[in-house]
Amino acid sequence: MPTELPDLRPLLACILLALASPGVRADEPAQPDRPEETLPTVSVVGVTPLGAVQERSTIAAPVQVATAEDLDRSHAVNLPGYMSRELAGVHVNEVAGNPWQPDLNYRGYTASPLLGTAQGLSVYADGMRLNQPFGDVVSWDLIPAAAISTMALMPGSNPLFGLNTLGGAVSITTKDGYSDPDSEIQVLYGSNGRRDVQFDSGGSTASGFDWYVTGHRFREDGWRDDSPSDVQQFFGKLGWRDDATRLALSGAWADSDLDGNGLQEQRFLARDYDSVYTKPDNTRNRSGFLNFTAEHRFGDASTFSGNAYARSIRTRTFNGDINEESLGESLYQPNAAEREALAEAGYTGFPESGESAANTPFPYWRCIANALLNEEPNEKCNGLIGRTQTNQRNYGLSGQLTFAGDVAGRPNRFTVGAAYDASRTHFRQTSQFGYLTPDRGVVPVDAWADGTQDSENAYDARVDLKGQAHTESVYATDTFAFDDHWKLTLSGRYDRTTVRNRDQLLPGGGGGSLDGDHRYSRLNPAVGLAWSPTASVTTYLGYNEGSRAPSSIELGCADPDNPCKLPNSMAGDPPLKQVVAKTLEAGVHGRYGAATNWHVGVFRATNHDDILFVADNTAGYGYFRNFGQTRRQGIELGFDQRLERLRYGADLTWLDATYRSRELVGGAGNSTNDIGPGFEGAIEILPGDRIPLVPKQIFKAFAEFEVTAALSLNADVQAIGGSYARGNENNRHQPDGEHYLGPGRSGGYAVFNLGIDYRPAPAWKLFAQVDNVFDRRYATAAQLGATGFDAAGNFVARPFSGPVVDGERPLRGATFYAPGAPRLFWVGVRYTFGAAERVSH
């Protein structure tokens, strides 16, 4: 039984007691972007997506901010790469096995490109929501990191950021011609054929116009077998401004072709770390958007800001998987009818008798024969190819008015706003049977999972679903300064969401139809109190609530009697409730002298009616369901110090993520299931069981040293604690070496990274990066499931002769891991046009 972890109340009491003591005085750091009338460090919850980065100085909670210079100095290839290395409390699960498709986790909440992942973080760029309508997923390959000017990670369930802000929000501000007036070109080359070319150019005129444009092409073969990536990104912005008004129109286009071959069984990772379980697993994304932003100041006391956007996303997937329905079947010697069908179709060389697992490591004749007969390819074919096509169009607008002035003689800042977001989605899927080859590929046969087979277990995996959704929102926030030390913020947001699904295969509702009309509404409040006993110390206490309405894919896959294969299948559903997160946090942060920053904080976030994907196997089958309560609580400590030529720091997050309700879920691959070893029974989750894939400790440290004016070095380390595997939600799985292989959890790990920058001349920059310096082998995630191979890597069906329960035989279970990247290096050069001339002048 898991033990209850320490209560946070004693630590919270100590922190609040410490607030009464005087702090060390120091000059408040300058805020160059802050107008004089802006209240300093006042709000825990008073910032909106339209002004998140610009207004970060008004937030007392531990907001983490990064600039374009920070991203450049890290040499990270994309935004998740930077955040996982540099930001406190952030880590990634590389479940997809591709550097552009990680699950980004913060405080136990996730933003992921994978359908079926419980999404809990919202992502915005210039006020435009980047979570996609279908599944609230975030495709990191569609975000042009080269265009990022500043990025802020906001903690908690701040309702002002709207739906899906359960654990935090990422807000991005893009570059423009005023902030980035240079023209640059950069190229790099690295491990596994990594090639990257990037350019950007910006400028402005005396009449107030400015422009910025950047393009990026990334290609690599990938460190795992058959895992190439090809990413193309383009971003441009045209703007105009005067003393009171700023207008900008930005547009982006992205096209990616990514192979990420996912989890691998433990025995084969030990033998060949680069290997894959099955292939291919290909995702192609193509996206474009336009975003118009406007800001106008009405004198010194009031400001209007708003945006309007439109976006189109097209996604195609092609996935080769093992057909787990075949693992308990007899796949070897064709019977007389099957041999006759093969002969009539012109096939030769099939066995007349004697084919077995001992002499046929990869069977296929029965698969081909059953495809010809259309009888049982769903049972006799050990491979499955899934294809999906998703077209999404979404658009929206938002606007807000901010009034700054005095109330009762004290500074006050009030913002009121409204937003509208709408989307149309068309999702189509097919599944085709096939057979596995020795290189783990799948050869398709002319048989489809369309329910027409002459088999008692025939199923229809086709999906053709159209969905519409729209959300209307109004929000307000007010920050009032009682005096020079105490500030209070009150906020609230009302969201009303309508989701309309229409099944193109079974229209009209009824059994098996995906038709449905769903409506959700909620008013989410927030309150924050900040106290600054000195100019160098700020304390904060905040409570906030956020919610997330179920997406079309969750509403279409919520029936445990009809599990889905994500992103492939859906089934008629019982209704799901929306998730509500309630977060309480408190802490203190400050400066010691002019060079040291520090912070201490605690938080507790409780999700009510959490939507979880209950996985049945490693191929992705499962279903969504509401889960009573889950809780994520923790302690955060951190500091950084800048000396004359040295900057260093560290962060520690202790995280306790647990289920708080007793629930019964599917236990395929779990040794404690209620049917017996090797069967797909159920497991019971008890309050206090830890949520899978969430580590208990996250530690990070870094150091940057300026050797000379031209040469600098940087180093960082990430130390991540172990976590339980998906499928081991009850934390009780135990391997027996026969029916179950592997411990049902991933171990902790530490990864060291080194970088160097050298500027031989003002216009030139040379750089190099080595990730995972010590070539550590580790796993970022794990999952329980049935394995279809023996220790030699040969396919094996019916690994056990019995017992037979309801016509089913036991299977062998294993722990599958998401391996972390081995040692990687890359070197690059950047040239800035005109830099030498500016220096000479």
pLDDT at 93: 95
CA distance 188 to 220: 11
Q: Using pLDDT thresholds of 50, 70 and 90, give the confidence band for residue 621.
A: low
| Residue in the structure block whose two tokens are 């109190």 | 529
pLDDT at 130: 96
| CA distance readout (Å), 227 to 98, 259, 260, 429, 834 | 7, 5, 6, 23, 39
Say if residues 395 and 309 touch (Cβ distance below 8 Å).
yes
DSSP 577: P
Q: Is the pLDDT of residue 58 over 50?
A: no
Pick the closest to residue 833 from 200, 197, 183, 203 (CA basis). Answer: 183
Q: Is the pLDDT of residue 660 over 60?
A: yes
* pLDDT digit string, tens, across residues 80-137: 999 999 999 999 999 989 999 999 999 999 999 988 788 999 999 999 999 999 889 9
Say if residues 533 and 19 touch (Cβ distance below 8 Å).
yes
Neighbours of 574 (CB within 10 A): 11
- Provide the token pair at 551: 């997406």
pLDDT at 60: 53
Can you spell out the DSSP letters for 270-323?
Answer: HH-TT--SS--EEEEEEEEEEEEEEEEEETTTEEEEEEEEEEEEEEEEEEEEE-
- Where are the alpha helices (H) located in 619-718, listed in sequence order? none
Q: Is the pLDDT of residue 829 over 50?
A: yes
| CA distance readout (Å), 805 to 666, 675, 678, 808 | 17, 9, 11, 5
- Provide the token pair at 446: 């002319």
pLDDT at 568: 36
- Provide the token pair at 167: 């654990």
Say if residues 688 and 659 touch (Cβ distance below 8 Å).
yes
Q: What is the mean pLDDT of residues 208-229?
A: 97
Pick the closest to residue 291 from 52, 128, 147 (CA basis). Answer: 128
Q: Is the pLDDT of residue 625 over 90?
A: no
pLDDT at 642: 93
pLDDT at 294: 96
Say if residues 180 and 67 touch (Cβ distance below 8 Å).
no
% of the chain surpassing 90 pLDDT: 76
* pLDDT digit string, tens, across residues 668-698: 899 999 999 999 888 999 999 999 999 999 9
Give the total residue count for the chain: 841
3-class secondary-structure state, position 641:
strand
CA distance 774 to 779: 15
- Interhelix angle 336-344/365-373, rounded to 10 degrees, is 80
pLDDT at 563: 54
Helix (H), strand (E), coil (C) string for 114-141: CCCCCCCEEEEECCEECCCCCCCCCCHH
- Provide the token pair at 498: 């309508």
* pLDDT digit string, tens, across residues 513-535: 788 888 999 999 999 999 999 99
CA distance 736 to 718: 33
Q: Burial-class residue 363 by CB neighbours within 10 Å (0-12, 13-18, 19+).
A: buried
Say if residues 82 and 70 touch (Cβ distance below 8 Å).
yes
- The C-alpha torsion from 38 through 43 and 46 to 52, rounded to 10°, is 70
pLDDT at 61: 66
- Provide the token pair at 783: 């999952």
Pick the closest to residue 374 from 413, 409, 338, 416 (CA basis). Answer: 338
pLDDT at 48: 65
pLDDT at 471: 95
| 444 contact partners, CB below 8 Å, separation of at least 6 | 383, 385, 432, 433, 434
Q: How far is CA 118 from the centre of its chain?
A: 9
Pick the closest to residue 493 from 465, 522, 519 (CA basis). Answer: 522
pLDDT at 558: 64
Q: Give the angle subtended at the CA of 827 by the CAs of 823 and 832, to the nearest 5°.
A: 150
Q: What is the mean pLDDT of residues 583-602?
A: 93
Q: Give the angle subtended at the CA of 436 by the CAs of 281 and 427, to the nearest 5°.
A: 40
CA distance 40 to 536: 12
Pick the closest to residue 825 from 197, 231, 188 (CA basis). Answer: 188
**What mean pLDDT value characterizes the chain?**
88
Q: Is the pLDDT of residue 326 over 50?
A: yes
pLDDT at 9: 40
Q: What is the mean pLDDT of residues 141-159?
A: 95
Amino acid at 463: V
CA distance 118 to 614: 10
Q: Is the pLDDT of residue 47 over 80?
A: no
Count of CA atoms in the C-beta half-sphere (13 A) of 345? 17
Count of CA atoms in the C-beta half-sphere (13 A) of 532? 26
Of 452-461, 477-486, 654-663, 799-808, minimum mean pLDDT range: 452-461
Q: What is the mean pLDDT of residues 579-583?
A: 94
pLDDT at 295: 96
Q: Using pLDDT thresholds of 50, 70 and 90, give the confidence band for residue 59.
A: very low
pLDDT at 626: 82
Q: Is the pLDDT of residue 465 over 60?
A: yes
* pLDDT digit string, tens, across residues 400-444: 999 999 998 999 999 999 999 999 999 999 999 999 999 999 999
pLDDT, greater one: 392 or 300: 392
Of 408-422, 613-627, 814-828, minimum mean pLDDT range: 613-627
CA distance 388 to 166: 29
Q: Is the pLDDT of residue 170 over 70?
A: yes
Say if residues 465 and 556 touch (Cβ distance below 8 Å).
yes
Q: Using pLDDT thresholds of 50, 70 and 90, give the confidence band for residue 612.
A: confident
Tell me the pairing of strands 621-642 and 646-659. Answer: antiparallel
What is the torsional sign of CA 378, 380, 381, 384? positive
* pLDDT digit string, tens, across residues 277-290: 999 999 999 999 99
For residue 280, say if its preceding peptide bond is cis, omega within 30 degrees of 0: yes
